[in-house]
Chains A and B, each alone.
Chain A
Amino acid sequence: MILRTENIVKQYADHLALDNVSIKVPRASIYGLLGPNGAGKTTLIRIITQITAPDSGEIYFDGRRLHENDVYSIGYLPEERGLYKKMKVGEQAMYFARLKGLSKHDAEKSLREWFEKFEIQAWWNKKVEELSKGMAQKVQFIVTILHKPKLLIFDEPFSGFDPINVNLLKTEILNLQKQGSTIIFSTHNMASVEELCDYITLINKSKNVLSGQIDEIRHNYGDNIFEIDYRGETEKLIENIGNNYQVLDSSEQKFFRKIKIKAIDKETGNALIARIIKDAEIVNFNEIIPGMNDIFIKLVEENK
């Protein structure tokens, strides 16, 4: 575990922002932090980045209690980002890099490398006010990851980027993961969660309502519905599966037939296959797993 929080509580004047939130972030994973607006995600991130302190609860980073110097090992890209408008891009990037503890020489060297990688060398001497929003965000992304932190926290990193740059960013995020960084990733974009995240936590109304490995969660939230393409007789197939299953839908395709079956009593896919296989040739068998979007909506609606 690179990061572990235990029973974090944070109370603002008349509002409990975090209520006993515990999460465990495995090393070198991409960890999605999900939740509706105002659920407490940003507060949790601010506590991890030591911008604010919790009222109670413990945070462990890299095996020991979170320490002041751990800010050097954490990179944070806030959702609402800004740069000094009147400062030159290069100058500003240097300032942020050096605040993160890089020496002047190292900061300049790796900044030049990243500027080259993102093809923005020409911006070095431009003032930030001359850049577009997307351009400024590229600069901010570089500044966030420049000091090679062990833990990276991105809050809605893709907002404001065009699809090409989104891909560029995704590639870089995956690269960083390969190099051993752990990434906490807060977003409302469930497609990118499914695409990138290994683990997630869903925070709703200040509480951790769901945590775990993403595939496992999706599986657990499945309704045990299987979709089968096969060749053979439908009547026989239905007869074979018996009373533990319920046929939801069946249709005739060009080269095979398609059927949707819901398993009652938590029957596994294997048991179903065993029953079908006697009289039908299975072309395709898959369990219908709900998307994160559905799970998100379901959980949040349930808790209303």
Chain B
Amino acid sequence: MKKMLLVIKREFIIRVKKKSFIIMTVLTPVLFACLAIVPALISQIKSDKEKTIVVLDDSGIVAGELKSAGTIKFVNEVKPIDSLKNNLIKDENYAILHVEKGEENAIGNITLYSKQVAGIDVINAIMAQIKILAAQIKLQEYNISAEQIAQVLNPNLHIKTFQLDEKGNEKESNTQALMGLAMICGVLLFFIILMFGIQIMRGVIEEKSSRIVEIIISSIKPMYLMLGKIIGVAMVVLTQILIWIILFGIIIFVAQSQFSDIVNQIQSYVKVVSFTKMLVCFILYLTMGYLLYASLFAIVGSAVDNESDTQQLQTIASVPLMIGYFMMIIVSTQPDNPLAFWGSMIPFTSPMVMLARIPFGVSWLEIILSLAILAATFISFTWIAARVYRVGILMYGKKASFKEIIKWLKYKQ
């Protein structure tokens, strides 16, 4: 036990002292900030160039009704389409919208001619207006007044969401915000597990290929060496997260006035019942998910002879993690998908999938069940890894096949 502490300490210190650790610690929040801010910035940068669209309306419904909005400007023309097309090639106009007459006072085919490929935003803007116009025509046939139509088509509705807890108290929930938070947690969890899992693998390979392991395991049992390594790296992860939280706290505190929006938002997150659930689950799933994958990567490290051999086995170890990541993305938009339940029970994917489900409300019972499965799996995998590891680290000169790894399990200590 005392010796395992020594291993933990060494694994921790050598990593924390590295420049890359310091860089990672500072850079990751910056990177995340960029991920959050950049899309917002990009969406603000819109082309301000005016797009004039010439409308040739054969139906008599559209002309004059299309409202210029934003950069799109509509101009009516009554000329044969061919001459308009000829003009378009020469002039500065963006496109020609040709609306044909359909049967029974309806809109027929709609065609858009443009010099460049028309952007989806332009098409959406046109179609949104035309659809409303078409609906209006139909509704007028049923003798519904323009006012009523307006009420139907543009109802002044907003949704407010509340969450009821077990005692029937209601709290305003902020599903959007929680979803965002869940995604950030899920992505963070994915990267942390993958990154530090690979670090464990590298550490094992270093000891194995440099034969240090012989000296070490003549003084400490391989199982404790492996556990020490896994726990030491886990400490690094926790330290990093702690630093991030503190950094974040300081920034918010120092620049409270500049970030009042964010502060308010955070306060609104915290108010939500699920926030605590989210945080507790994040830490529990991160820890156990990490422990599960760390043992897998330790197996990979002990089974190969040098780093260039890792490719295949490393893939086997990281594919379930990737699957979990994609499941998380699907589940975050389709929480009722059966994938959500099974994905959050299967231990290899549950850390990420469950995090994505939490904003939509998951009972503690399900969470506990999923955690219990995950715990049982990581304990048995650690056990398996310890058995494979102690044989693998002394097998030099070749990469072990999958069959051999299974065989190692049965070896006497």
A84 and B212 contact, CB distance less than 8 A: yes
The reply to whether B6 and A98 contact each other, CB–CB distance below 8 Å, is: yes
Instruction: Return the CB mask of B200-225 against A: 1 if under 8 Å, else 0.
Output: 00000011011110111111100000
- Taking a contact as CB atoms closer than 8 A, the residue among B6, B212, B218, B407 that contacts A71 in the complex is B218
> Beyond A80-B211, A84-B212, A87-B14, is A51–B218 a contact (Cβ under 8 Å)?
yes
Residues of chain A with a CB closer than 8 A to B171's CB: none
B79, CB-defined interface residue at 8 Å: no
Smallest Cβ-Cβ distance to B209: which chain A residue: A82
How many residues on chain A are close to B (CB under 8 Å)? Answer: 30
Interface size class on chain B is 20 to 34
**Mask: chain A, 17-43; 1 = CB below 8 Å from B; 0 = not:** 000000000000000000000000000
Given A13, A82, A83, which contacts B407 in the complex, CB threshold below 8 Å?
A13
Is the Cβ of A76 less than 8 Å from the Cβ of B6?
no
A53 CB–B CB distance under 8 Å: yes
Tell me whether A71 and B219 are in contact (CB under 8 A).
Answer: yes
A84 in complex: contacting residue of B206, B219, B394, B412, CB < 8 Å: B206
Give complex CA distance A71, B214 in Å.
Answer: 13
A55-83 contacts to B, CB under 8 A, are 55, 71-72, 74, 76, 78, 80-83
Q: How far is the CA of A46 from the CA of B213 in the complex (A)?
A: 12
**Chain A residue nearest in CB terms to B214:** A78
In the complex, what residues of A have CB within 8 A of residue B218's CB? 49-51, 71, 74, 76
User: B207 to chain A: which residues have CB within 8 Å?
Assistant: 82
The verdict on B3 contacting chain A, using a C-beta distance below 8 Å, is yes
A83 contacts B214, C-beta separation under 8 Å: no
Chain B residue numbers with a CB within 8 Å of A99 are 3, 6-7, 216, 219-220
B101 contacts the other chain (CB 8 A): no
A51 to B392, CA, bound (A): 12
Contacts of B44 in A (CB 8 A): none
Nearest-Cβ distance from residue A29 to partner chain B, whole angstroms:
21
A200 at the interface (CB under 8 A from B): no
- Whether A133 sits at the interface, judged by CB under 8 Å, is no
User: Would you call B14 and A76 a contact (CB within 8 A)?
Assistant: no
Question: In the complex, which residues 137-161 of chain A have their Cβ closer than 8 Å to any Cβ of chain B?
Answer: 140, 143-144
State whether the Cβ of A85 lies closer than 8 Å to any Cβ in chain B. yes
Chain B 385-406 per-residue mask, 1 if CB under 8 angstroms from chain A, else 0: 0000000001010000000100
B212 touches which one: A46, A72, A83 (CB < 8 A)? Answer: A83
Bound together, the chains give a CA A82 to CA B10 distance in angstroms of 17
Chain B residues within 8 Å of A71, by CB: 218-219
Q: Is A175 an interface residue (CB 8 A)?
A: no
Chain B neighbourhood of A167, CB < 8 A: none
Task: Please judge, given known A-B contacts A51-B218, A100-B219, whether A81 and B211 are in contact too, CB under 8 Å.
Answer: yes
Tell which of A55, A81, A144 has the most Cβ of chain B within 10 Å.
A81
Please give me the residue from chain B that is nearest to A87 by CB atom: B14
Q: Which residue of B lies closest to A76 (CB)?
A: B218
Task: Output the residue of B214, B216, B220, B396 with the most chain A CB within 10 A.
Answer: B214
Q: Does A86 interact with chain B (Cβ within 8 Å)?
A: yes
Please indicate the chain A residues that have their CB under 8 angstroms from the CB of B211 in the complex.
78, 80-82
- Nearest to A96 among chain B residues (CB) is B215
B208 to chain A, nearest CB (A): 9
* Partner of B6 from A46, A87, A95 at Cβ < 8 Å: A95
A249 vs chain B, min Cβ distance (A): 49
**Chain A nearest CB: distance from B410 CB in Å?**
10
Given A76-B218, A99-B216, A143-B215, also A52-B10 (CB < 8 A):
no
CA distance in complex: A21, B210 (Å): 29
A83 & B210 in contact (Cβ 8 Å cutoff): yes
Residues in chain B near residue A140, CB distance under 8 A: 215
Residues of B within 8 A of A101 (CB): 219
Bound state CA distance, A76 and B214, in angstroms? 9
Q: Mark A93-105 against chain B: 1 for CB-CB distance below 8 A, else 0.
A: 0011011110000
Interfacial residues, chain A to chain B (CB-CB below 8 A): 13, 46, 49-53, 55, 71-72, 74, 76, 78, 80-87, 95-96, 98-101, 140, 143-144
The 8 closest A-B CB pairs, nearest first, are A82-B210, A78-B214, A49-B218, A82-B211, A99-B219, A80-B211, A82-B212, A76-B218
Q: A52-B394, A83-B212 are in contact. List 5 more A-B contacts (CB 8 A).
A: A53-B413, A74-B218, A96-B216, A98-B6, A99-B7
5 cross-chain CB contacts under 8 A: A13-B407, A49-B218, A81-B215, A99-B7, A140-B215
